[in-house]
């Protein structure tokens, strides 16, 4: 422990000490907390302290390591909070009223189609954003009884396409143009599906 701290930068030492004080404080909060949902939130805070230790690397590598760490943390809190909802029986879905005015019957299909077509023409992240806005607008004019699962499926396949494109980049660098196009289309569909989901949110109607 002593020789470990001896050959380190002084700033890194101070940062590590602060991070470990934060970790210990957060863990002592877990020991004292009894309410389950508060516990879940405190543990999500604890994960952030883990990311702080990674961030202390202070290089580009830190960024590359924080992103997967963050993704794992988000995946875990989503799984566990979903589990908590099932456990407590809080998953009742109530029907939701939608805003029933005439402009929501006529305008969304036209503007949505235009935005989506332009977004597909652009491809990539920007294209996905614009096409997604179009779809979100289109869904705003629809009732929530429709099956939105298919857009989530499309998002999953787009993710696979994106990963495959990266594999092509690594394994067959000569085919970089194919990989670039596949990645652009994949990220477009993915962003589009995610943004379109915003259009399906109506609150709980209470």
- For other proteins, the binding residues (CB under 8 A) are 1, 4, 7-8, 12, 16, 19, 23, 27, 30, 36, 39-40, 43-44, 46-47, 49-51, 53-54, 56-57, 61-62, 65, 68-69, 72-73, 75-77, 79-80, 83-84, 86-87, 170
Residues 6+ apart with CB under 8 A from 199: 135, 136, 137, 138, 139, 140
Q: How far is the CB of 190 from other proteins (least distance, A)?
A: 20
The rounded distance, in Å, linking the Cα atoms of 111 and 133 is 10
Nearer to other proteins, 66 or 96 (CB): 66
- What is residue 203's DSSP assignment? -
Nearer to other proteins, 34 or 95 (CB): 34
Nearer to other proteins, 147 or 206 (CB): 147
Do the beta carbons of residue 175 and residue 161 sit within 8 Å?
A: no
Q: Could you tell me what percentage of the chain is helix, strand and coil, using 3-state DSSP and rounding each to the nearest 5?
A: 80, 0, 20
CB atoms within 10 A of CB 71: 10
Nearer to other proteins, 34 or 103 (CB): 34
Tokens in use for 152? 């989530």
Q: How far is the CB of 54 from other proteins (least distance, A)?
A: 4
Nearer to other proteins, 65 or 107 (CB): 65
Nearer to other proteins, 1 or 103 (CB): 1
Q: How far is the CB of 164 from other proteins (least distance, A)?
A: 17
Do the beta carbons of residue 128 and residue 191 sit within 8 Å?
A: yes
Q: How far is the CB of 151 from other proteins (least distance, A)?
A: 21
For 31-66, give one letter per residue: b (16+ CB within 10 A) or e.
eeeeeeeeeeebbeebbebbbbbbbbeeeeeeeeeb
Q: How far is the CB of 10 from other proteins (least distance, A)?
A: 13
Residues 6+ apart with CB under 8 A from 107: 141
Q: How far is the CB of 38 from other proteins (least distance, A)?
A: 12
């Amino acid at each position: 422990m002593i020789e470990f701290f001896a050959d380190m930068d002084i700033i890194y030492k101070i940062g590590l000490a602060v991070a470990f004080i934060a970790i210990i404080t957060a863990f002592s909060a877990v020991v004292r907390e009894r309410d389950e949902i508060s516990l879940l939130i405190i543990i999500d805070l604890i994960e952030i302290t883990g990311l702080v230790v990674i961030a202390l690397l202070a290089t580009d590598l830190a960024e590359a390591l924080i992103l997967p760490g963050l993704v794992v943390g988000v995946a875990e809190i989503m799984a566990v909070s979903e589990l908590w909802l099932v456990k407590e029986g809080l998953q009742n879905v109530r029907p939701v009223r939608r805003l029933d005015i005439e402009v929501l019957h006529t305008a969304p299909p036209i503007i949505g189609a235009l935005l989506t077509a332009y977004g597909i023409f652009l491809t990539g992240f920007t294209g996905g954003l614009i096409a997604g806005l179009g779809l979100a607008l289109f869904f705003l004019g629809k009732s929530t009884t429709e099956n939105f699962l298919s857009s989530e499926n499309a998002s999953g396949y787009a993710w696979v396409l994106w990963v495959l494109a990266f594999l092509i980049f690594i394994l067959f660098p000569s085919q970089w143009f194919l990989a670039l196009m596949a990645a652009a289309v994949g990220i477009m569909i993915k962003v589009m599906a995610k943004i379109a989901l915003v259009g399906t949110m109506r609150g709980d109607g209470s």
